[in-house]
Amino acid sequence: MIAALFFTVALLVTTTYFILGSIPLLVLKHDTPMDSRFVRAFFNIYYVAAITTASATAISYAFAGRLGLATGAAGLALLAVVLRRMIIPKMDALGAQIQSNAIEAIPGFRRTHVTAIAINIGQLAAIVWSLAAARL
């Protein structure tokens, strides 16, 4: 159970850190290829970190016999995999359009960025709620 708590804290820190780091990136105008590449790289790193910490959390809860929490953490890992496969290619495509001066790409990139942040906030709320409900 100690490992499960350790990985739970790691998952909370990872999610919170990337939320707090991604919100200030909204001040970027997203109008240059450098902006889009930076934001894309930031989210790619987040998704890899989320997959890793959520998977480790799921495995440790499973070994601790807390199957409900293990299932929830596995769901977060799976969601991070799905989001990485959806968000990153979309950011790549919009970033390429920004580079070719497609005017509609900038608001699209910003919407994708805001959507990814909103999903991350939802994940953090789900993590905190599940821990409160489980009364560790």
Instruction: Find, among 68, 42, 43, the residue nearest to 57 by Cα.
Output: 68
Tell me how many domains the chain contains: 1
- Predicted TM-score (pTM) of the model is 0.87
Segments forming the whole domain that contains residue 72: 2-134
At residue 25 the predicted structure's pLDDT band, cuts being 50, 70 and 90, is: confident
- What is the C-alpha radius of gyration for the chain, rounded to an integer number of angstroms? 16
- pLDDT 10s digits, 2-12: 888 899 999 99
Lowest mean pLDDT among 23-27, 41-45, 93-97, 130-134: 130-134
Residues 6+ away with beta carbon under 8 Å from 91: 36, 39, 40, 43, 109, 112, 113
In degrees rounded to 5, what are phi and psi of residue 84? -60, -40
